[in-house]
Amino acid sequence: MCCCLPHGELSDTLCSSVVNFSALYIFEGNIFKMKIKILSTPLQGFTDFRFRNNFDRFFGGIDTYYAPYIRLQNDFLIKSSQQRDVLPENNKVKELIPQIMTNNAEEFLFTAKHVQQLGYNELNWNLGCPYPMVTKRALGSGLIKEKNRIDEILKRISSESDINISIKLRLGYENNREILDLLPILNRYKLTNLIIHPRIGKQLYKGTVDLDTFRQCTEDTDHEICYNGDIDSTEKFLILQEKFPNVSQWAIGRGLIANPFLPAMIRNNDFNKPENWIETFDRFHDALFREYAESLSGSTHILLKMKSYWEYFSQIFSNPHKVHKGIRKAKNVNTYHETVKSICRDYID
Ligand SMILES: Cc1cc2nc3c(=O)[nH]c(=O)nc-3n(C[C@H](O)[C@H](O)[C@H](O)COP(=O)(O)O)c2cc1C
């Protein structure tokens, strides 16, 4: 039984002994085995080095982590928090790739040099950010339609730097033709991969992912393609893997914070969290809290930071809405800890 069965036979696939560190596919009558990679896409404000290190320590299952984007300030300054985030001494994960958001070759080259001095050999280019503050400045997904500008930037950075370049992008900002017009240009350059989130910027996170256009992208590109979007369960992953048996890289963003066990579950073909999940989650949460408490000044900042995670953490519990509401109401660190304790006792079915 293999993963390239016609649609509808997914249940057979689920029951088969295929483990999902490998995908099977057929090419010219032969069955091939493909090793999959699971990547962690960045969430600015969430997946900083403290989160990544603790995630890796308690849950694992991720091959490569992407750091949230660096955006240069005036005079080519990198914010100290963004510098700290990629410092090798702060990062314990096996592979980390820094990211930049820019529409300027000079900025790219400057940042490439900076990260190369830190020991990195790849810089990921963010052409995916959907927020109007960004896109109206022709950044993130707002740049995708400017294919000649992207061409010029790639021409310069490819000739003036030896850093490996990868791109994370949406299908466009206004419409899904934008990426299809861009792909022939991208085919002219050496790129490590294209991580594609198949929505347009204007959608933000609404509506559904456009799998038809994603399929078209896999046909039109010469590059390795990584799928990214809405993977929040093993079932969802298997459905996508069945649709795209040639895709070997799978990136997860929000789903990792909402269910940190997900990459390991996908790898083991598990549909349920491990039995002792709440203990592991509790230890992870404590470690994360401790690190923020040591680094942030004042309980207001610590509370704000920890509460923000619960937009996602709440989803692993049995009544996410009530759990999130309870956390939002916590007025100080003590009541926060008490609320977390009662959540970990009462909402784990
Ligand atoms: C709050 C937030 C912050 C994000 N920050 C970044 C970022 O810094 N760089 C980036 O490439 N993508 C960023 N993303 C996009 C995610 O990495 C990911 O591509 C997107 O959420 C779709 O994948 P998912 O459905 O698995 O979450 C962000 C998304 C959210 C919700």
- Mean pLDDT for the chain overall: 92
Instruction: Tell me the two tokens of residue 200.
Output: 């347009």
Answer yes or no: are the C-beta atoms of 106 and 138 closer than 8 Å.
Answer: no
245 within ligand 1 shell (Cβ under 6 A) = no
Give the H/E segment covering residue 99: strand 96-100
Quote ipTM for the complex. 0.99
d(CA 240, CA 258): 19
259 within ligand 1 shell (Cβ under 6 A) = no
pLDDT of residue 4: 32
199 within ligand 1 shell (Cβ under 6 A) = no
Answer yes or no: are the C-beta atoms of 125 and 165 closer than 8 Å.
Answer: yes
pLDDT at 102 over 60: yes
Percent share of the chain, pLDDT over 70: 90
User: Would strands 96-100 and 225-228 be described as parallel, antiparallel, or unpaired?
Assistant: unpaired
DSSP 20-88: TTEEEEEETTEEEEEE-EEEE---TTTSSHHHHHHHHHHT---SEEEEEEE---GGGPPPHHHHHHH-G
- Within a 10 A sphere around the Cβ of 251, how many other Cβ atoms? 25
Q: Which residues contact 45 (CB under 8 A, 6 or more apart)?
A: 68, 308
pLDDT of residue 17: 35
Domain assignments of the chain as residue spans, ordered by start: 10-264, 277-346
Average pLDDT over residues 185-212: 98
pLDDT at 24 over 70: no
Instruction: Tell me the two tokens of residue 260.
Output: 């940190």
Residue, of 148 and 9, whose pLDDT is higher? 148
d(CA 208, CA 64): 26
| Residue whose tokens read 């002219």 | 188
Q: How far is the CA of 197 from the centre of ligand 1 (A)?
A: 9
CATH number of this structure's domain 10-264: 3.20.20.70
| Residue whose tokens read 């017009």 | 181
Residue whose CA is at the smallest distance from ligand 1 atom 5: 43
pLDDT at 116 over 50: yes
Answer yes or no: are the C-beta atoms of 279 and 254 closer than 8 Å.
Answer: no
Active site residues: 129
d(CA 171, CA 179): 5
Q: How far is the CA of 242 from the centre of ligand 1 (A)?
A: 24
pLDDT at 95 over 70: yes
Average pLDDT over residues 253-257: 98
349 band by pLDDT with thresholds 50, 70 and 90: confident
Ligand-binding annotation for 99, yes or no, is yes
DSSP 275-286: TTHHHHHHHHHH
Q: pTM for the complete prediction?
A: 0.92
233 within ligand 1 shell (Cβ under 6 A) = no
How many CA atoms are closer than 13 Å to the CA of 23, on its beta-carbon side?
24
Average pLDDT over residues 134-163: 98
16 band by pLDDT with thresholds 50, 70 and 90: very low
Answer yes or no: are the C-beta atoms of 244 and 209 closer than 8 Å.
Answer: no
Average pLDDT over residues 291-306: 96
pLDDT of residue 7: 32
pLDDT at 89 over 70: yes
Distances in Å between the Cα of 165 and the Cα atoms of 124, 149, 159 are 6, 16, 12
